[in-house]
């Protein structure tokens, strides 16, 4: 598993440099962004598998190590790098996605992982329900906050427009 994570990190770094290839070829940049989306999803899956010690990928491909034993002492450092790189590569093509959905997705994953680790729940149905309910609640709350922030950002423009209207109407009234 260590070899595959190193390859994923190298390919992910090359795909993350896609904007640098824009000057060379627009098509090459698009290919790297699409490849980066797939690599980002793979990196997130591998990071979750390694962080939780599930051993799903080890069971499928027959490589890796037994859950709980970490042959690499730097695992806790490069898992963070893998998670950040995976999220960045995954979110690059999705420019119009709101931050509320990405944060809700992250918190949903953390809630399911916490339930799995802290309470030893291994039922995928229960973990899936907790994941979906958490995403729904967090997304609803963050979307509400996001809408309020958008409205408050428009408020100063509204006040300026009203003060200009009042000034012109008062000047017309004085004439």
**Which DSSP symbol is given to 93?**
S
pLDDT at 116: 87
Q: pLDDT tens across 27-55, in order?
A: 888 899 899 989 988 888 888 777 777 77
Query: What is the per-residue pLDDT for 170?
Result: 54
Positive or negative, the CA dihedral 113, 42, 91, 21 is: positive
User: Whole-angstrom Cα distance, residue 83 to residue 137?
Assistant: 23
Residue 164 pLDDT: 53
Binning pLDDT at 50, 70 and 90, where does residue 59 land? low
Residues 47 and 135: their CA atoms lie apart, in Å, by 20
Chain centroid to CA 93: 12
Could you say which DSSP state residue 21 is in?
Answer: G
**Mean pLDDT across 53-77:** 61
pLDDT tens digits, 83-130? 888 888 887 777 666 778 878 988 998 898 889 888 988 888 998 899
- Residues 119-169: pLDDT tens digits? 988 888 998 899 999 999 999 999 999 888 888 777 666 555 455 555 555
Q: CA-CA distances (angstroms) from residue 128 to 81, 121, 135?
A: 26, 11, 11
Per the CB < 8 A criterion, the answer to whether 48 and 6 are in contact is no
Kindly list the domain boundaries of the chain, sorted by start residue.
Answer: 1-95, 97-175
| Among candidate residues 146, 97, 29, 112, the one with its CA nearest the CA of residue 88 | 97
Q: At what angle do helices 99-119 and 26-52 cross, to 10 degrees?
A: 20
């Amino acid at each position: 598993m260590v070899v595959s994570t190193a390859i994923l990190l190298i390919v992910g770094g090359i795909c993350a440099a896609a904007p640098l290839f824009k000057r060379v070829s627009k098509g090459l940049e698009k290919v790297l962004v699409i490849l980066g989306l797939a690599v980002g999803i793979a990196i997130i899956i591998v990071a979750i598998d390694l962080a939780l010690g599930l051993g799903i990928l080890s069971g499928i491909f027959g490589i890796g190590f037994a859950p709980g034993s970490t042959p690499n002492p730097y695992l806790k450092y490069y898992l963070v790098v893998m998670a950040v790189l995976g999220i960045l590569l995954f979110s690059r093509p999705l420019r119009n996605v709101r931050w509320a959905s990405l944060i809700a997705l992250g918190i949903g994953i953390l809630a399911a992982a916490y339930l799995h680790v802290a309470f030893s729940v291994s039922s995928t149905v229960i973990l899936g329900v907790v994941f979906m309910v958490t995403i729904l609640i967090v997304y609803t709350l963050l979307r509400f906050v996001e809408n309020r922030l958008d409205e408050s950002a428009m408020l100063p423009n509204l006040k300026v427009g009203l003060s200009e209207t009042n000034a012109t109407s008062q000047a017309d009234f004085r004439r």
